[in-house]
Amino acid sequence: MGAGTRRLTRCFVLLCCAALSPACSSGTGSETAADPGRARLIAVITPSHDNPFFKAEADAASARARELGYEVIVNVHDDDANKQDQLIDVAIARKVSAIVLDNAGADASVAAISKARAAGIPSILIDREINVTGVAAAQIVSNNYQGATLGAEEFVRLLGEKGSYIELVGRESDTNAAVRSRGFHDVLDKYPDLRMVARQSANWDQREAFQKTETLIQANRGISGVIAGNDTMALGAMAALKGAGLGHLVVVGFDGSPDAIGSIKAGEIKATVLQPAAYIARLAVDQAHALITKGSTGQPEKQAIDCELVTQANAGEFGIFQRISKEAR
């Protein structure tokens, strides 16, 4: 690392420390962490809030932490493992009580989480697992495989068990992309009259999904549908199909985003699979609090929360990445 790089890194950390001062946080409460020298402070670190899924995670975790009397620092790593490392260094320097983390890579995140653990700071992972156990205090994720089979079964039903289709997959470094694709194919590949004509990664991105779909349908205008590993890619695919006069085709996504649910209500995207992101984020904070105050989460490290299928028939029952009560509808 050159001197210029070291200066930039020091500047980044100093700026983060200034931005994350208690004056910029909210919440009240006396010092109750097991370590009397540790701040009553929780760090919440996720990918970019440009994706409403990650914003919902951060908002839900922050709100729950404040309810429990913690100050909260919220940051995004933009799926950049180096930036994540720096943010975790800041959290360690601030002596936070715990880190709630939607990580930047199943392998690339292990060293930083281990460093926090060595400093006595537990990490509660949400949404994405890492490829080792015994480093994070908990790994709480949606049951991506179960959710993918739900989405694929609905896709099969909507296609009448026949036809050709395109699959859009997520970022290759994200374990969720592979798990969802496997769940899709464990259902789809059972039907001999269903044929995948193209499979490409659109990296969870709506614009990239639009461009990839626009290109793929030029050679595959006879397709019956598109199945996508998340809703932003499903929305991009639907926009491309509509632009080509193919808006009637079947598109199924995954996440249960408000935009996707709105599209379902409008009769465009046909279905999505809701990940209970808000519930998982609150659960992560509850387990962090239990660990801080009691010394244990009371749960196994790896935990999977089932997903729910969202269709036009039940779309009104869901809010921002969660099922809403009848009273709130």
Q: Would you list the DSSP string of 143-191?
A: -HHHHHHHHHHHHHHHHTT-EEEEEEE--TT-HHHHHHHHHHHHHHTT-
Question: Which tens digit of pLDDT belongs to each residue from 239-273?
Answer: 999 999 999 999 999 999 999 999 999 999 999 99
- Specify whether domain 3-140+277-304 bears CATH 3.40.30.10: no
Question: Which tens digit of pLDDT belongs to each residue from 115-145?
Answer: 999 999 999 999 999 999 999 999 999 999 9
Q: Are 148 and 184 in contact (CB under 8 A)?
A: yes
Nearest of 101, 126, 138, 89 to residue 297 by alpha carbon: 138
- Tell me the pLDDT band of 83, cut-offs 50, 70 and 90: very high
What does the domain layout of the chain look like in residue ranges?
A: 3-140+277-304, 144-276
> Can you give the pLDDT at residue 174?
85
Q: How far, in Å, CA of 253 to CA of 228, rounded? A: 5
Residue 21, pLDDT above cutoff 70: no
73 SS3 class: strand
Nearest of 271, 278, 277 to residue 250 by alpha carbon: 271
Question: Which tens digit of pLDDT belongs to each residue from 168-226?
Answer: 999 988 889 999 999 999 999 999 999 999 999 999 999 999 999 999 999 999 999 99
Assess whether the region 3-140+277-304 and the region 144-276 belong to the same CATH fold: yes
> Can you give the pLDDT at residue 99?
98
- Give long-range contacts, CB 8 A cutoff, 24+ apart: 265-270: 265/312, 265/315, 265/316, 267/312, 268/238, 268/242, 269/231, 269/234, 269/235, 269/238, 270/154, 270/158, 270/311, 270/312
SS3 for 89-111 is: HHHHHCCCCEEEECCCCCCCCHH
**Gyration radius (Cα) of the chain, Å:** 21
Q: Hey, what amino acid is at 232?
A: T
Q: Hey, what amino acid is at 307?
A: C
228 SS3 class: strand
pTM metric for this prediction: 0.80
> Can you give the pLDDT at residue 38?
63
Q: Where are the alpha helices (DSSP H) in 196-276?
A: 206-219, 231-243, 258-265
CA 90 distance to own-chain centroid: 23
Burial (0-12, 13-18, 19+ Cβ within 10 Å), 4: exposed
> Can you give the pLDDT at residue 210?
98
Burial (0-12, 13-18, 19+ Cβ within 10 Å), 209: buried
Nearest of 318, 298, 316 to residue 307 by alpha carbon: 318
* Domain 144-276 fold: Rossmann fold (3.40.50)
**Residue 93 has which token pair?**
């320097």
**Residue 139 has which token pair?**
């790994």
- Counting every residue written for the chain, the total comes to 329
> Can you give the pLDDT at residue 67?
98
Q: Would you list the DSSP string of 12-43?
A: HHHHHHHHTSGGG--------SSSTTS-SEEE
Residue 155, pLDDT above cutoff 80: yes
Nearest of 246, 249, 212 to residue 232 by alpha carbon: 212
CA 32 distance to own-chain centroid: 30
- Tell me the pLDDT band of 150, cut-offs 50, 70 and 90: very high
